Structure 1
Amino acid sequence: MVPLLLSILFSLEPVRNVRAFDTPDDGGGSITVTWEIPESDTFITRIEIFRMEGSTEATPELVGYFLRPQTQFVDNTVEDGIPYYYFVRIRSDSVFVDSKITTTPAISKAQWFSGRRLPALIILVIYFGFLMFYIFKAKTGGSLFIRKIAGLEAIDEAVGRSTEMGRPILYILGLGFISDIPTVASLAILKRVSKKAAEYEAEVIVPCFDPIVMVAAQETVKEGYLEAGRPDLYNEGQVFYLTSDQFGYAAGVDGIMLRQRPGAVFLQGLFFAESLILAETGHSIGAIQISGTTAVTQLPFFIAATDYTLIGEEMYAASAYLSKDPLALGTIKGEDIAKMVLVVLILIGTLMETLGIHWLSNFFALF
């Protein structure tokens, strides 16, 4: 036994080049310790990392250990601004040997910028550049091409048709709340419909699923009538609360369709299982229907049962499309160009990966 211990003692060498430094690209509270394992590591059974706070004369504190050879340890229990010293102990059962204590104190601090997020910064700068360019172009009178959205172009046709038939216009906001983005987008479309209805002296009926949405819809319709110069035609009762029960709401709206027989039905907002029930009822009374939702599962029903459908982001673009506001148009154009750049990058990246070139995928892997 004694000869074995002596052989272990003489063959056990301390680790070399122990370094302790502030962990880069972090928010502070972390120090990284590195070292080099000796070549004769056969007898190593445990590696222990000790820390001394303030000076090399302080009492060593065990802060971590490994049961197999390692060359790096991250100490996440330090405080920023305090100097720390480290040494590494390697053990072989009861025999151990210590490395030299680090001569330079390691002080943790937070970094202002993480170099690992540089790719994200580059993408953000490019995206912001596109936005600012097109916003500036729109404000200076430059023409911006935005493709025609059939559902929005048909608003005037739908309102005019309903007026010619002497029937009201039914606008359905769906089951969303005021905190849902599709509901907010739908209110922007409602304003345009209300303004056009006021110009044609047509009635707009807006049954609501949520009381808060009802209040917002009342103000939206009122504003539309004011912009058309016909506030005298506005009737607060035409925007009303129906019920907060999903199928109770669907049944109530279907009843309005069958009794009032509107010439145009707008289904814009957040819809669920009731979407096909509403769309089929509107189709059965011969109304022209313009639908729109971001609910992917309901889009097939709207596409099949309505005349025009706003798909996904077309709803979000409605406000800018209808108002022609330079700031909003420039934002949409900038977003579209940024998306196009990303699609091109995906295609290039796919081709490069197929050819065994990985630097583009490695770049995005840093996110």
Structure 2
Amino acid sequence: MIYILSLLISISPPQKIRTNDTPNDAGGSITVEWAPSAEDSLLSGYEIWRSEARDTGFAMVGYVGRGIFKFRDLDDIENGRKYYYRVRGRTKNFEYTDFTQVSPPTIASYQWFNRGKVNTLVAVVTFMIILLYFVTTARRGKGLFVRKITGLDALDEAVGRATEMGRPVLYVPGLSSMSDVATIASINILQRVAKKVAEYDTPLIVPNRDPIVYMVTRQVVKEGYMEAGRPDSYNEDNIFFVTQSQFAYAAAVNGIMIREKPATNLFLGMFWAESLLLAETGNMTGAVQIAGTDSVTQLPFFVTACDYTIIGEELYAASAYLSKEPILLGSLKAQDGGKLIILLLVILGLIGSIFGSHFFAQLLSV
């Protein structure tokens, strides 16, 4: 007992407590730091106490293990209010050292700008400059190179084939909802397809799995017919809701392909396990098939069973590729430019890491 008491008396308290408002945050946080006890190895950790008065009312708000000399207090901190702190060491037997001196008053506040996000700001500004450049270039009539996407180029040919054969075009906008990017991209393509079939006076069949997508596709197809100057040819019965059950929907679409024998099948959007069922059935009927999805797991099935496959981001680029709108083309080229810059930074970061420099790697941290 005497040994333990003498040991405790010899353990010095932590020193040099420092407190400051935590930088780069929205307030509600104060950072406490201190110098370790000279006998830090004899302690199990440190207790952090806080009060709104300098001399009374202290209560413990945190504990850190031995070897840690920094604590971020997030416990009911109010911006604009003064707080005082003190720290003491604790042994495994719950014996304590003396407290440090009470810290000066510290006030938490929010910061207007997070300096840790400067790289994000630079990236956004850089992307906006690239975007404005390409949009301006496109509006001036200068040609912007966009690589050829065979699946999209084949759309007109596929619709023309259906017209020559006197058979309908089947358009499946995927099985996902309107919150899916692939579905939105599919709707953009559907509008162009609807306009084209209206010009050729070819029936267009659009079965839907999602009720909201059904309402959107019906309106988009109607607008396509109106743009083509053929509103009288629009048949709303050809755009219909089937079911929300995945495989029941697939079975219904397969039945349509077998009964109606469309000359062209377009599978564009988000697909899951039913992709091969749809594509294989369409292949058996002898239809020209164009598929597109951003689902990596379903692409092999479409590549195997379809004539043309639009892969991943090619689906997103479809609206710009088909319409040639300056804003859309500029956005597409700006995205490519941004990806190129990121790729170069990744390569430079890799090379820098090999030689012990982490500058470029830190630029990519968010």
- Mark yes or no: TM-score above 0.5: yes
AA matched with 1:101? V
Deviations 1:94-144 (A, max 9, x none): 574333323x31111122222222222222222232222222322333322
Q: Which residue of 2 aligns with 1:193?
A: 193
| Counterpart check, 1:57 vs 2:55 | yes
SS in 2 for 1:171: strand
Alignment coverage as a number of residue pairs: 363
SS in 2 for 1:265: strand
The answer as to whether partners of 1:167 and 1:263 remain within 8 angstroms in 2 is: yes
Q: CA RMSD in A?
A: 2.5
The answer as to whether partners of 2:201 and 2:233 remain within 8 angstroms in 1 is: yes
The answer as to whether partners of 1:44 and 1:69 remain within 8 angstroms in 2 is: no
Distance 1:351 1:111, change over 3 A: same
Q: Which residue of 2 aligns with 1:275?
A: 275
AA matched with 2:101? K
Q: Distance in 1 between matches of 2:43 and 2:284?
A: 82
Q: Which residue of 2 aligns with 1:341?
A: 341
Q: Distance in 2 between matches of 1:43 and 1:175?
A: 64
Matches of residues 23-42 of structure 1 in structure 2 within 5 Å? Answer: 23-41=22-40
Deviations 1:337-365 (A, max 9, x none): 11111122222222333344333224434
Indicate the percent of aligned positions where both proteins have the same amino acid: 46
AA matched with 1:151? G
Q: Which stretch shifts more, 12-21 or 219-228? A: 12-21
What's the TM-score once normalised by structure 2's chain length? 0.89
Q: 1:157: how far off?
A: 0.7
Matches of residues 307-346 of structure 1 in structure 2 within 5 Å? Answer: 307-346=307-346
Q: Which stretch shifts more, 219-228 or 133-142? A: 133-142
Matches of residues 134-145 of structure 1 in structure 2 within 5 Å? Answer: 134-145=134-145
SS in 2 for 1:85: strand
The answer as to whether partners of 2:163 and 2:200 remain within 8 angstroms in 1 is: yes
SS in 2 for 1:174: coil
Q: Distance in 2 between matches of 1:67 and 1:179?
A: 46
Distance 1:287 1:2, change over 3 A: closer
Q: Distance in 1 between matches of 2:348 and 2:16?
A: 44
SS in 1 for 2:297: helix
* Structure 1 gap segments, 5+ residues each: none
What's the TM-score once normalised by structure 1's chain length? 0.89
Distance 1:117 1:283, change over 3 A: same
SS in 1 for 2:278: helix
Deviations 1:259-282 (A, max 9, x none): 222221111122222222222222
Q: Distance in 2 between matches of 1:192 and 1:58?
A: 74
SS in 2 for 1:58: coil
Q: Distance in 2 between matches of 1:95 and 1:242?
A: 72
Q: 1:228: how far off?
A: 0.9
Q: Which stretch shifts more, 26-35 or 82-91? A: 82-91
Q: Distance in 2 between matches of 1:4 and 1:246?
A: 72
* Structure 2 gap segments, 5+ residues each: none
Q: Which residue of 1 aligns with 2:351?
A: 351
Q: Distance in 2 between matches of 1:4 and 1:317?
A: 74
SS in 1 for 2:250: helix
Distance 1:182 1:72, change over 3 A: closer
Q: Which stretch shifts more, 288-297 or 210-219? A: 210-219
In the TM superposition, structure 1's runs of 4+ consecutive aligned residues that sit over 6 Å from their partners are: none
Q: 1:331: how far off?
A: 0.9
Q: Distance in 1 between matches of 2:40 and 2:212?
A: 71
Distance 1:200 1:17, change over 3 A: same
Q: Which stretch shifts more, 156-165 or 246-255? A: 246-255
